[in-house]
Amino acid sequence: MTSSDNKVYNCNYINNDIIYSTNETKTNKLWIDNKPIYRKVIDNFTVNLSDGQQTINHNISNFKNLTDLKTYVKYGNVAFDLLSSGYIVRVSNSQIQINLMSQGIGLNGYTGYIIMEYTKTTD
């Protein structure tokens, strides 16, 4: 390998792609339409599905397309992925809606975390 084969990356380029923050962060990823992908963590909400659903405002302005979604709930040192625990998670332009399916695990009182990656209408 010659020195011209080496790739050098600016630390900011690498670090922006691994930042998980409750503030909107522009990642270094591009969606299929070449729009930049942003990431935001919705954290520390208490799961309360007493009527079978819960709605959370994500407070993302100019939301366009969801590109990735990860969901977690935690109680003590027990954690579950909502999507594989009998829940449906829907994301709209302004909200996240969590619905309990009939065979879902009861997780009321657990602390929830949602990691969203998305594009915006303004880019």
CATH number (domain holding residue 90): 2.60.40
Q: What's the pTM? A: 0.80
Angstrom distance (rounded) from CA 86 to CA 81: 9
Contact 86, 73 (CB under 8 A): no
pLDDT of 101 higher than 90: no
- With a cut of 50, say whether residue 109 has pLDDT above it: yes
The verdict on residue 26 lying in a domain is yes
In this predicted structure, the answer to whether residue 69 has a pLDDT above a threshold of 90 is: yes
For residue 59, what are the CA distances in angstroms to 12, 44, 71?
26, 15, 17
Structural domain harbouring 17 = 8-120
Contacts of 96 (CB under 8 A, 6+ apart): 42, 55, 56, 57, 58, 89, 90, 114, 116
Query: 């594989």: which residue's tokens?
Result: 84
Question: Which 3-state string (H, E, C) describes 82-113?
Answer: HHHCCEEEEECCCEEEEEECCCCCCCCCCEEE
2 inside domain? no
Structure tokens at 96: 């996240």
The whole-chain average pLDDT of the chain stands at: 84
Model confidence at 22: pLDDT above 90: yes
Q: Is residue 1 part of a domain?
A: no
Is 104's pLDDT higher than 90?
A: no
- Token pair, residue 64, equals 């366009």
Q: What is the pLDDT of residue 1?
A: 44
Q: What percentage of the chain reaches a pLDDT higher than 90?
A: 46
Average pLDDT score over residue span 43-60? 87
How many domains is the chain partitioned into structurally?
Answer: 1
In a domain, 33, yes or no: yes
State yes or no: pLDDT of 6 exceeds 70.
no
110: in domain: yes
